[in-house]
Amino acid sequence: MSEPCFDVAHLGHVEMLTDKPEETLDFFVNVYGLTESGRDDTSIYLRAWDDYEFHTLKLTASDTTGLGHVAYRASSQAALERRVAVIESMGCGIGWVDGDLGHGRAYRFKSPDGHVFELYYDTKRYEAPEGEKPALKNIAQRYHGRGVAVRRLDHLNLLAADVSAIRDFMVQALGSRVTEMIQLNNGRIGGCWFTVNNKGYDVAFTEEHANAHARFHHVTYAVDQREDVLRAADIFLEHGVFIETGPHKHAIQGTFFLYVYEPAGNRVEVANAGARLILAPDWEPVVWTEEERKKGQAWGLKTIESFHTHGTPPIGETIIE
Amino acid sequence: MSEPCFDVAHLGHVEMLTDKPEETLDFFVNVYGLTESGRDDTSIYLRAWDDYEFHTLKLTASDTTGLGHVAYRASSQAALERRVAVIESMGCGIGWVDGDLGHGRAYRFKSPDGHVFELYYDTKRYEAPEGEKPALKNIAQRYHGRGVAVRRLDHLNLLAADVSAIRDFMVQALGSRVTEMIQLNNGRIGGCWFTVNNKGYDVAFTEEHANAHARFHHVTYAVDQREDVLRAADIFLEHGVFIETGPHKHAIQGTFFLYVYEPAGNRVEVANAGARLILAPDWEPVVWTEEERKKGQAWGLKTIESFHTHGTPPIGETIIE
Amino acid sequence: MSEPCFDVAHLGHVEMLTDKPEETLDFFVNVYGLTESGRDDTSIYLRAWDDYEFHTLKLTASDTTGLGHVAYRASSQAALERRVAVIESMGCGIGWVDGDLGHGRAYRFKSPDGHVFELYYDTKRYEAPEGEKPALKNIAQRYHGRGVAVRRLDHLNLLAADVSAIRDFMVQALGSRVTEMIQLNNGRIGGCWFTVNNKGYDVAFTEEHANAHARFHHVTYAVDQREDVLRAADIFLEHGVFIETGPHKHAIQGTFFLYVYEPAGNRVEVANAGARLILAPDWEPVVWTEEERKKGQAWGLKTIESFHTHGTPPIGETIIE
Amino acid sequence: MSEPCFDVAHLGHVEMLTDKPEETLDFFVNVYGLTESGRDDTSIYLRAWDDYEFHTLKLTASDTTGLGHVAYRASSQAALERRVAVIESMGCGIGWVDGDLGHGRAYRFKSPDGHVFELYYDTKRYEAPEGEKPALKNIAQRYHGRGVAVRRLDHLNLLAADVSAIRDFMVQALGSRVTEMIQLNNGRIGGCWFTVNNKGYDVAFTEEHANAHARFHHVTYAVDQREDVLRAADIFLEHGVFIETGPHKHAIQGTFFLYVYEPAGNRVEVANAGARLILAPDWEPVVWTEEERKKGQAWGLKTIESFHTHGTPPIGETIIE
């Protein structure tokens, strides 16, 4: 029996496209509580107060919304090379890029649904400038308490026409493990939650119901306590941010969640996982049936209809490749 | 540069000695909120509601208190064998044992201070009996809400005369990483926090100030929220359990903590780490100076004197080897 | 201008009818976390751990469900007499009763919709027996932590065909103040929240949409923290209790809520009001329009349909007088 | 037997003196989270987001620190006049003043220790300007989430040489009720907690151990949840605010507390009382013995020494009358 793969350390960052760059930036900085680390011609680099890298969110001005790319950091230079060799053999590689303000050389490749992935090891650590140095030196930046003040990047969710194909891809390409999944009555996989480390998930893929590809469902940052999620709801309410659903507890993964749309329409989540970790190296995926999913979320909240339909870019603008 | 080691998956269980086995059991079941999985001639096996294994705490009746042994689970059978080869080459091995009710064959070895460690891969998963099956199948046992109702084993803390020697031992033997440490002015390491995975720490060693060896400082289970720690304080208060210090937030690791003594005198903690994880594969240890530690805990609480002196077994009873 | 009335001190207790007395009792004691104080031929008297009186919930076995009566405690004997004189002059009085296990002489009267009210001053204080004495003597009973472990009676909600008539009745009979209300486009009052003290409300009346009278909507106990409401949701889930809606935050009054049905079908709430109090002696009622109410609850949750229809007793069994 | 008195509705505001007016203002606005309503020649008027009046804190520039005056709002104009008649007959009246930016005509009088009290009925309600209007109209101002973002004024604590005399004064002058008190072995009252409404206390007096009079111990605003107190601790830490003690739970009143010093040295508290209310109209004071108080706070934290000595103004500057 093969050993678990530890070549990929963690989700690194997400590039989000926005056609309302100023409003989106204002949302992420003043309402969601991220901090800008830098900017270049097309993008602004943001991070949460305890993200150790230069950025975890790259906001790129665009004529549409959705995902630019998603990046994972490898466990070492050697691990990066091992993964690239595998990915190239899978035939889904794009090739090396030089990196950007936040990290060095990175290898790009595509999911079966067309999402652009990136794998890198060389990174730029965040160095807190004066005024942002924390009182306790084991956090990356002082707790500024601005807006929701999320702590760190947690995960993202992407839409794909064929989640089964995605499952094979994630397991092979990144060495991800499936922690939970939805098995539909028609034999297809309705959703699949993956992790490369001890978190319950760093990416989820759920079935795309539109005739579209490579769409984005949401990105999530973690807060320390469920109370922070409740407080976030009041902050969103007072700022006129559209709250789609929550706060409530997911049946799958048990995460306490709250979903909103940032001004350009990308869905953004605030979440808390409690003390949950996937520690078992031989964790068996939890498989949910269609019937079980009909019970709704953990405490009975019906899954909101738009959760099954709203992705970015919106349908008319989706890039069909 | 070498790659990080992933051979050890997680802290598996702690064997605690007690000379008041009935009172200790009552505390852990009815106040702390663990559940009994089984018992044999000398021991009772306990676990928290989301521990996936048969047990995480083995209570063993003894004529004293303190640590029986501490066990880690390897990432795979091959990883176990790699670790055993290293440990044997280090000269600190004891040898293979057959395991107990909770797991299969295990390799025993000793820390430089004499603490007994165990490494195993074959384990017995907890299967919830009728009446303990959870409403949501991604947790190990239903949330019973009994007493403090801790969620899962988190870490332990051991005392050692020479923490520097322990550091070398942990890094070599288990492939642990040092996440934080205290550098004393006299050149010694006052305390060292280790992890084998994404948790901030699974074991801490702090300096033994008595003429004793292999002593135990405390074991900790995690709860989901800081509010659970505050609620635990009321439960301990109403049950007449001795509260040593807390609730407060540690400067080191940022954990929200509460320390009590179980009836036989072993120190037990309830803790919440918020959303903190060590995701960087190349995390640099955070080094605290003696002066920084004099500031006390995160919000200024002075570290209580007994925290530096109380270990189990008590001094007169310590096994000097 | 007249002065505010302080003749009535607080909501005292609610008598709930149940046609499944054993299951209902098990729910209130083991899941909701009340404690039995005593029982007589037809009823069992229950209270929460910080209720100062002998009982705040009287469970009465019946061939149906719903409200037996609701009782308020007067501020003094003289205040009781003043109120009774007013009530008698209003023509809605029933007369004096001797009281029950929990209190002395009480005056009974009826709301315009037929709900039986009771006003009393002589009461029986709870004296904690050995084993229930608290560690800190400023709470009525030890914090036992059993089930949801609600702290104290908070309020109840009743249905009435003509809420405007109820408003006049409550203001006149009890000297209640209206803190918030719903003004329907058809000119009727859709709901009205009343208080006799600094709480935001001790009773709410909402419009009855069925051809029925004197029905009960729900009774609510308070917990100390919103986290206790979230924890309650897990406890209800694990006990198979039907969760109707929540946890979420009410737009009206801002209360954090969770609604369930006890086994006989009566609706029961767990709630937390945060630090909200009505301190202004000349508080002006907050008036919500029908349009404003269409926005749903505070963070956008749509008010569940059954909230407008489910009352007890169920329609077929409603006593039409 | 006399009836309880309801002539005084609630604590209205506290005037605090500061010899560092700019730093003190910055603390209260940007760290503590109050909002300025207005200013005149010597003072700045502040309030928390759910205080319904124009101000609850009046910061007055001075050559020292401590209490300017404390004001209570009467239940009605008639109640105000009744109280003034009583106070004048007690011989501790000062006389009528015209009020300030926040309220109309007020009657001034002195405590036996020399603290200046004020009683008023005519008040100025806060009208939220554009940009501060709440999303839900039952709160006074939008939840801005700035700094600690306290919700409303809760209570204050004053020092007095003779707490027994204060007890008589408060009961007579304001009709306050004693909810809890400390009975010292020497026969004196060590501390006394008073309320005019359903809150556990709106003012506490504790014994002055210095040769001084009319000193101020602390003022407290309430937050909705204990988690808000924990979050406040991080905010204070990051802003370099001196944290004196806490967070912890008081044995007396059960309040969850955190004490800091604002830049000029006045002690300020953040607190949460959970769902505790004093509903009984005939509440018997809880009397704590000296021995009981030696146990420290609720969960065993020893009361910090400075809590018994630090008041404002500091001793050398105390106005001896």
pLDDT of residue B194: 98
Classified as helix, coil or strand, A281 is coil
SS (H, E, C) B34-100: CEEEEECCCEEEEECCCCCECCCEEEEECCCCEEEEEEEEECCHHHHHHHHHHHHHHCCEEEEECCE
Query: How many angstroms separate the CA atoms of D62 and D67, rounded?
Result: 11
Contact A225 B222 (CB under 8 A): no
Query: Which pLDDT band holds residue C320 (cuts at 50, 70, 90)?
Result: very low
Q: What residues in C contact B237, CB-CB < 8 Å?
A: 135-136, 143
In this predicted structure, the answer to whether residue D97 has a pLDDT above a threshold of 80 is yes
A134 lies within 8 A of chain D by CB: yes
Nearest CA in chain C to D252: C138
pLDDT digits (tens, 9 = 90+) for D235-276: 999 999 999 999 999 999 999 999 999 999 999 999 999 999
Q: CB–CB of B143/B71 below 8 Å?
A: no
Share of chain B above pLDDT 90, in %: 97
Contact B247 D247 (CB under 8 A): yes
CATH topology of domain D8-130+150-307: 2,3-Dihydroxybiphenyl 1,2-Dioxygenase; domain 1 (3.10.180)
Delimit the domains of chain D by residue range.
Answer: 8-130+150-307
Query: How many angstroms separate the CA atoms of A247 and C18, rounded?
Result: 33
A300 contacts: CB under 8 Å, gap ≥ 6: C243, C244, C245
pLDDT digits (tens, 9 = 90+) for C264-311: 999 999 999 999 999 999 999 999 999 999 999 999 999 999 999 999
Structural element, H or E, at residue D236: helix D226-238
Between chain B and chain C, the number of residue pairs with CB atoms below 8 A apart is: 39
Nearest CA in chain C to D284: C138
Select the residue of D73, D274, D283 nearest C225 (Cβ to Cβ).
D274
Mean pLDDT of C99-126: 98
In this predicted structure, the answer to whether residue D176 has a pLDDT above a threshold of 50 is yes
B143 lies within 8 A of chain C by CB: yes
The pairing of strands D93-97 and D106-110 is antiparallel
In this predicted structure, the answer to whether residue D149 has a pLDDT above a threshold of 70 is yes
Q: How many of the other CB atoms lie within 10 Å of CB of B317? A: 14
Structurally, at CATH architecture level, domain B8-126+150-317 sits in: Roll (3.10)
Query: Which pLDDT band holds residue B191 (cuts at 50, 70, 90)?
Result: very high
Instruction: Give the long-range contacts of residues D99-106, CB within 8 A, separation 24 or more.
Output: D100/D40, D100/D43, D100/D45, D100/D58, D101/D37, D101/D38, D101/D39, D101/D40, D101/D45, D101/D54, D101/D55, D102/D13, D102/D37, D102/D45, D102/D53, D102/D54, D102/D55, D102/D58, D103/D12, D103/D53, D103/D54, D103/D71, D103/D73, D106/D71
Q: CB–CB of D47/D56 below 8 Å?
A: yes
CATH number of this structure's domain C8-128+151-315 = 3.10.180.10
Query: How many angstroms separate the CA atoms of C175 and A314, rounded?
Result: 56
Amino acid identity, position C76: S
pLDDT digits (tens, 9 = 90+) for A105-145: 999 999 999 999 999 999 999 999 999 999 999 999 999 99
pLDDT of residue B254: 98
Select the residue of D222, D251, D279 nearest C9 (Cβ to Cβ).
D279
Q: What residues in A contact B198, CB-CB < 8 Å?
A: 197-199, 277
Q: How far is A179 from chain B (nearest CA, A)?
A: 9
Mean pLDDT of B14-40: 98
pLDDT of residue C2: 79
pLDDT digits (tens, 9 = 90+) for C155-192: 999 999 999 999 999 999 999 999 999 999 999 999 99
Mean pLDDT of C62-72: 98
Q: Is the model's pTM score more than 0.90?
A: yes
Mean pLDDT of B265-276: 98
In this predicted structure, the answer to whether residue B232 has a pLDDT above a threshold of 60 is yes
Q: What residues in B contact D234, CB-CB < 8 Å?
A: 298-299
Mean pLDDT of A296-315: 94
Contact C238 B147 (CB under 8 A): no
Q: How far is C240 from chain B (nearest CA, A)?
A: 8
In this predicted structure, the answer to whether residue B321 has a pLDDT above a threshold of 90 is no
Reported as half-sphere exposure (CB side, CA atoms, 13 A), residue B262 has a value of: 33
Tokens representing D12? 């209205």
Query: Which pLDDT band holds residue D316 (cuts at 50, 70, 90)?
Result: low
Query: Which pLDDT band holds residue C318 (cuts at 50, 70, 90)?
Result: very low
pLDDT of residue D318: 47
Burial C243-265 (b: 16+ CB within 10 A, else e): bbbbbbbbbbbbbbbbbbbbbbb
In this predicted structure, the answer to whether residue D108 has a pLDDT above a threshold of 90 is yes
Amino acid identity, position D104: G
In this predicted structure, the answer to whether residue C321 has a pLDDT above a threshold of 50 is no
Q: How far is CA B7 from CA B83, B154, B158, B173, C111, in A?
A: 7, 19, 22, 10, 72
Select the residue of B237, B258, B298 nearest D298 (Cβ to Cβ).
B237
pLDDT of residue D170: 98
D-facing residues of C in 194-253 (CB < 8 A) are 197-199, 222-227, 251-253
Q: What residues in A contact C226, CB-CB < 8 Å?
A: 227, 230
pLDDT of residue D2: 79
Name the average pLDDT for chain D: 96
Q: Which of D312, D11, D51, D9 is nearest to D155 (CA)?
A: D11
Name the average pLDDT for chain A: 96
In this predicted structure, the answer to whether residue D1 has a pLDDT above a threshold of 90 is no
pLDDT of residue A320: 46
In this predicted structure, the answer to whether residue C94 has a pLDDT above a threshold of 50 is yes
pLDDT of residue D8: 98
Query: How many angstroms separate the CA atoms of D137 and C288, rounded?
Result: 9
Mean pLDDT of B268-280: 98
C5 contacts: CB under 8 Å, gap ≥ 6: C175
Between chain B and chain D, the number of residue pairs with CB atoms below 8 A apart is: 44
Classified as helix, coil or strand, C256 is strand
Q: How far is A315 from chain B (nearest CA, A)?
A: 34
In this predicted structure, the answer to whether residue A306 has a pLDDT above a threshold of 50 is yes
pLDDT of residue B2: 79
pLDDT digits (tens, 9 = 90+) for D4-39: 999 999 999 999 999 999 999 999 999 999 999 999
In this predicted structure, the answer to whether residue A79 has a pLDDT above a threshold of 80 is yes
pLDDT of residue A2: 79
pLDDT of residue B318: 47
Structurally, at CATH architecture level, domain A8-126+150-311 sits in: Roll (3.10)
In this predicted structure, the answer to whether residue C232 has a pLDDT above a threshold of 60 is yes
